[in-house]
Structure 1
Amino acid sequence: MAELQDYNSTPKYETFSYLPAMTPEQVRKQIVYLISQGWNPAIEHVEPENASRYFWYMWKLPMFGEQSPDVVISELEACHRAHPGHHVRLIGYDNFSQSQGIAFVVYRGR
């Protein structure tokens, strides 16, 4: 029988938290998917000790209508450089359902 993972050993912030860390190529594919769905990318960050709160700090305004994965990646990197100890997550806002279509942590703080 396989080893069971302790649920409380690592905090979970989104669905992908249960999977191994994504490679840069996998993150890029998720961004391409987000854009292809017509969702608006937005970036948030927060101190690790406050990550379980409802509100994270928004990095700039959502990138309404952004079509370039490279622009989104550069903003993710800029947020991470500005706040190296914070968790940084990417959100895809769906205009039609007025909800988040996707949200995942790209950089984990210490």
Structure 2
Amino acid sequence: MRITQGCFSFLPDLTDEEISAQIEYCLGRGWAIGIEHTDDPHPRATFWEMWGNPMFDLRDAKGVMMELDDCRKANPDTYIRINAFDNTRGFETVTMSFLVSRPAVEPQIIMRRTEVDGRAIRYTHEVAR
């Protein structure tokens, strides 16, 4: 099963060159970049582990790519994503977010649908590992 979250999630995995181009796009608009990772990619788990601090003053994608390489080396079997933050309105807003690394084997999420009283339907899920 392929986890699909964020921008570009239905496309093939981005190459480092394509990731760098997206980072340049974000930096060109004055957005700060942050790197996050997790081993629990459930859609409700919105807060992932932050890798370092957000890069507010960075103007070159090479710095982000160096941090991304370090994060990949330290967390080889996790999901890693890039977040771009826009603070032009006085508060941080995630403007763009996309996966840049995945584990070799992705977990399978099993969703069960159960009909209950009336026409109500309940959904439960579990991760099969």
Q: Answer yes or no: same fold by TM over 0.5.
A: yes
Q: Which has the larger radius of gyration?
A: 2
Deviation at 1:23, TM superposition (A): 1.7
Measure, in 1, the Cα distance between the counterparts of 2:65 and 2:76: 15
TM-score by length of 2: 0.73
Percent of aligned pairs with the same residue?
33
The answer to whether the aligner puts 1:51 opposite 2:41 as a matched pair is yes
Alignment-derived partner of residue 14 in structure 1: 6
Alignment-derived partner of residue 100 in structure 2: 106
- Among candidates 16, 26, 33, match of residue 24 of structure 1: 16
Mapping of 1:60-75 within 5 angstroms? 60-75=52-67
Q: Report if the CA contact (8 A) 2:41-2:79 is conserved.
A: yes
- Among candidates 19, 27, 34, match of residue 35 of structure 1: 27
Say which structure is richer in strand: 2
Deviation at 1:28, TM superposition (A): 1.0
Deviations 1:43-96 (A, max 9, x none): 00001xx11112100001101110111110000010010011111111110012
Say which structure is richer in helix: 1
Where does the alignment leave 5 or more consecutive residues of structure 2 unmatched? 105-129
Aligned residues: 100
Measure, in 1, the Cα distance between the counterparts of 2:15 and 2:50: 24
Q: Using CA pairs below 8 Å that are at least 6 residues apart, which structure has the higher relative contact order?
A: 1
Where does the alignment leave 5 or more consecutive residues of structure 1 unmatched? 1-8
Q: Report if the CA contact (8 A) 2:82-2:97 is conserved.
A: yes
Letter in structure 1 aligned against 2:41: A
Secondary structure of the corresponding residue to residue 60 of structure 1: strand
CA-atom RMSD, angstroms?
1.1
Measure, in 2, the Cα distance between the counterparts of 1:94 and 1:21: 25
Measure, in 2, the Cα distance between the counterparts of 1:96 and 1:81: 33
Measure, in 2, the Cα distance between the counterparts of 1:85 and 1:58: 16
